[in-house]
């Protein structure tokens, strides 16, 4: 997997442009990865709900939960679907709106200096082998393209928004992911 840093695009990703992004502040660049999990409707996989949410086209009449979230303006840089398909919503040099109210490494405004990766999933369902493979390949490419990002600077959404968010959740196998990257689990010590 390769990354075109100047364009902020991941080679092979399907591009679905989200309007929910903007320029990073002057001097800000990707320094950390934030791993998320999302499913729409909750606990259901394979539909178009996530893409519609990130593109502001979610139909509130389609599902009762959609009525609660249809007005949100959120996105992520990338989504890894259950089958391993990689979808890119926001170029990596821009700020995606994924972390919300959060703090990481003693700093607020985590969106300013992070890349957000969503995994199609939820707290109570295991993630797929294909997702771990794609996430590992993607992470390796990001580590190479953005030297400020290191394995110790990879966090779950729950690490940067404790009490507010639980994703990627207890079903995400951090040990498997770290092992695939060749780093010890101890490298994942959250630093808020």
pLDDT in tens, 138-158: 999 999 999 999 999 999 999
Return the pLDDT at 185. Answer: 59
Catalytic residue among 31, 118, 120, 128: 118
pLDDT in the model for residue 83: 98
pLDDT of 189 reads 45
Domain ranges of the chain: 3-188
- pLDDT at site 85: 98
pLDDT of residue 183: 83
Query: Does 128 qualify as catalytic in the annotation?
Result: no
pLDDT at 19: 98
| Those residues with Cβ within 8 angstroms of residue 143's Cβ, 6 or more apart along the chain or in another chain | 149, 150, 151
Cα separations in angstroms, 188 against 32, 50, 93, 164, 179: 12, 27, 24, 20, 12
Q: Is 165 exposed, middle or buried (0-12, 13-18, 19+ CB in 10 A)?
A: buried
Q: What pLDDT is recorded for position 192?
A: 44
* CATH code, 3-188: 3.40.80.10
Which segments in the chain show pLDDT lower than 70? 184-192
């Amino acid at each position: 997997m390769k990354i075109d840093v100047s364009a902020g695009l991941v080679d092979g990703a399907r591009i679905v442009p989200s309007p929910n992004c903007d320029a990073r502040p002057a001097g800000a660049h990707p320094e950390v990865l934030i791993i998320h999990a999302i499913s729409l409707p909750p606990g259901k996989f394979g539909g178009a709900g996530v893409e519609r949410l990130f593109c502001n086209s979610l139909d509130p009449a389609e599902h009762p939960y959609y009525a609660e979230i249809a007005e949100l303006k959120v996105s992520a840089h990338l989504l890894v679907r259950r089958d391993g398909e990689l979808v890119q919503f926001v170029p990596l040099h821009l700020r995606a709106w994924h972390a919300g109210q959060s703090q990481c490494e003693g700093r607020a405004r985590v969106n300013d200096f992070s890349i957000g990766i969503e995994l199609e999933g939820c707290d109570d369902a295991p993630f797929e082998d294909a997702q771990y493979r794609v996430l590992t390949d993607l992470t390796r490419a990001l580590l190479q393209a953005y030297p400020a990002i290191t394995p110790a600077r990879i966090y779950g959404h729950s690490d940067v928004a404790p009490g507010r968010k639980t994703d990627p959740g207890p079903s995400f196998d951090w040990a498997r992911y770290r092992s695939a990257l060749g780093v010890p689990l101890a490298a994942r010590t959250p630093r808020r």
